[in-house]
Amino acid sequence: MDIGVLLPTGTAQWEAGDDPRGVLALALWAERIGFSSLFVNDSLISPRIEALTMLAALAPATEHAHLGTGALLPFLRRPVQVAQSLASIDALSGGRLAVAVGAGFPGRFGRPMYTLSELPWERRFRRLDETVALWRALWAGDTSFHGELVRFDDLPPATKPFRAGGPPIWLGGATPAALSRTAKHYDGWLPYPPDPADYRSGLATIREAAALAGRPAEAVTPALFVTVRVDTDEAAGRSQLDVYSRANYGMPLEELRTIQAVVTGTAEQVAAGLGAYIAAGARHLVLRLGAIGLAAQEEQLDRVAALIDRLSVADCAAWDHTSAAPDRTPARPAPRT
């Protein structure tokens, strides 16, 4: 099991007067108290510390925690340049980088960013897959790349990542097409389904498709992106998460809960909720802390850290995944902010 934390790099997660450098201090504290990975996310919709800049700061400052994106939006950057940046971060971190990627979502969470990036919205998934393939070609030393949408001749010598072949690339998303693409082309899966049963079925689909493609089951890391808050009880946790959801997404918690994985309540309730996903097969949890302000984030970090020892695979295997979360009607996907 790997238990990681998503760092609050967005200003919507800060209070007035918070020092941006406090995010780095929070990351160092998370590593010290036992979190095995530190993740950042990516957007142009709300102000934030840019994802690759944050990872570049973390690489030499941390010692053993893995670094990751949850998720990087490659279309925001020139593809050759981002390959160089990712290789540089992997080299500076000693091979501790994992890169989860996404193509963006409809509405205000996706189309405006494509406009700013001067790229078409259409065929965005093909563009994403070809961009990842280009990165791998560059890291392998190829001098040209010819996809349907992404094409380059005379590629320059690339910065070499720490690991041969480069950092592992994960895919977010849980549509049937995303599951198929994950199984065939990616090294990990980072979805956020509201129901653990959907995680279980999605992972089974990936493993079946991977086997048909000639890949071993362990080729795809089963990860999970989930928002958590430890509080005095579930009602108090939901109240605070509603504030968080409105600040970050402009929507109430009850709407967000139909889209994304959310777990709150007492320490025991949060452990059981996360355990349901572990029982469903998740082995790398990326926890987004539902709190506003760096001080409140640190408080939640300490509370969640106390749960880590409870989240062993053996202990979670006995939990009934059907009773860990209320029934929710599936809805449109939403981005992470």
Does a structural domain hold residue 121? yes
| pLDDT(327) > 90 | no
| pLDDT(9) > 90 | yes
What does pLDDT average to over the chain?
92
Does a structural domain hold residue 331? no
| pLDDT(322) > 50 | no
Does a structural domain hold residue 131? yes
Does a structural domain hold residue 43? yes
Mean pLDDT calculated for residue range 17-44: 97
pLDDT computed for residue 111 by the predictor: 80
In percent, how much of the chain has pLDDT > 90?
Answer: 84
Overall domain count for the chain: 1
Does a structural domain hold residue 333? no
Does a structural domain hold residue 136? yes
Burial class (CB in 10 A: 0-12, 13-18, 19+), 219: middle
81-85, 215-219, 255-259: range with lowest mean pLDDT: 215-219
Is residue 116 very low, low, confident or very high in pLDDT (cuts 50, 70, 90)? confident
Does a structural domain hold residue 68? yes
- Please name the amino acid found at residue 157: P
Backbone dihedral angles phi then psi of residue 333, each to the nearest 5 degrees: -70, 155
CATH number (domain holding residue 209): 3.20.20.30
> In which domain, by residue range, is 35 found?
2-323
Encode pLDDT of 202-247 as tens digits: 999 999 999 999 999 889 999 999 999 999 999 999 999 999 999 9
Mean pLDDT calculated for residue range 303-332: 59
Residue 282 CA, chain-centre distance (Å), reads 13
Residues 146 and 144: their CA atoms lie apart, in Å, by: 7
In percent, how much of the chain has pLDDT > 70?
Answer: 91
Does a structural domain hold residue 230? yes
